[in-house]
Homo-oligomer: A and B are copies of this chain.
Amino acid sequence: MISQKAKYALRALIMLAREGEGASLQIGEIASGQSIPKKFLEQILLDLKRHGIVVSRRGKAGGYALLKRPDQITFGQVLRLIDGPIAPLPCLSRTAYRRCEDCSDESGCEIRQVFSRVAQSAREVLDRTTIADALGRGRPVVEIETFAEAEAITS
């Protein structure tokens, strides 16, 4: 299950993207528009800002706007930065690999083998789908044809 926080983050980004290029919204507008607790959203946006996805302006008439283009923000990125690794086992994460303590033979681990397929297909969706894709009734997801291309995205 993805966290409430990640859902809020995605909803906020989608709302900002809908606003159009360069446009900004205030925390309060997003919060009431999406029924997100305002002070909680504050922390989330701050987090997105620290990761360079969004910019803010302070003071009267301040607010938040997207820094990256909607088609350059993937669900995977957002999810990783809010919820942590996507992989179902630490030993399968590319971005935050950790050995399983109790696993003696990683490459022979049957459980790992099965879940590696789950992880792979989850990444395939999440690292390819962008905020822009989610937005319109526009075309779903672009097919990726080469392995190199997939690698580039997954980085």
> Interface residues, chain A, CB within 8 Å of chain B?
1-2, 7, 10-11, 14, 34-36, 75, 85, 87-90, 100, 102, 110-111, 113-122, 124-126, 129, 133-135, 140, 142, 146-153, 155
Known interface pairs A2-B115, A85-B1. Does A148 touch B148 (Cβ–Cβ under 8 Å)? no
Known interface pairs A118-B122, A119-B152, A121-B125. Does A110 touch B14 (Cβ–Cβ under 8 Å)? yes
Q: How far, in angstroms, from A136 to B151 measured CA to CA in the complex?
A: 30
Main secondary structure of the interface of A (DSSP, over half): helix
A155: chain B residues within 8 A (beta carbon):
116
A129: chain B residues within 8 A (beta carbon):
114, 117
Contact B134 A114 (CB under 8 A): yes
List 10 additional A-B contacts (Cβ < 8 Å) besides A113-B140, A117-B152: A1-B89, A7-B89, A110-B135, A117-B129, A118-B122, A120-B148, A120-B149, A120-B152, A121-B125, A147-B148
Known interface pairs A1-B88, A14-B110, A135-B110. Does A117 touch B149 (Cβ–Cβ under 8 Å)? yes
Q: Which of B2, B114, B134 touches A125 (beta carbons < 8 Å)?
A: B114
- Nearest B residue to A2 by beta-carbon distance? B88
A113: chain B residues within 8 A (beta carbon):
134, 140, 153
Q: How far, in angstroms, from A90 to B118 measured CA to CA in the complex?
A: 19
- Determine how close the nearest CB of chain B comes to the CB of A2; give it in whole angstroms: 5
Q: Which of B102, B135, B149, B150 touches A121 (beta carbons < 8 Å)?
A: B149
Q: How far, in angstroms, from A88 to B87 measured CA to CA in the complex?
A: 12
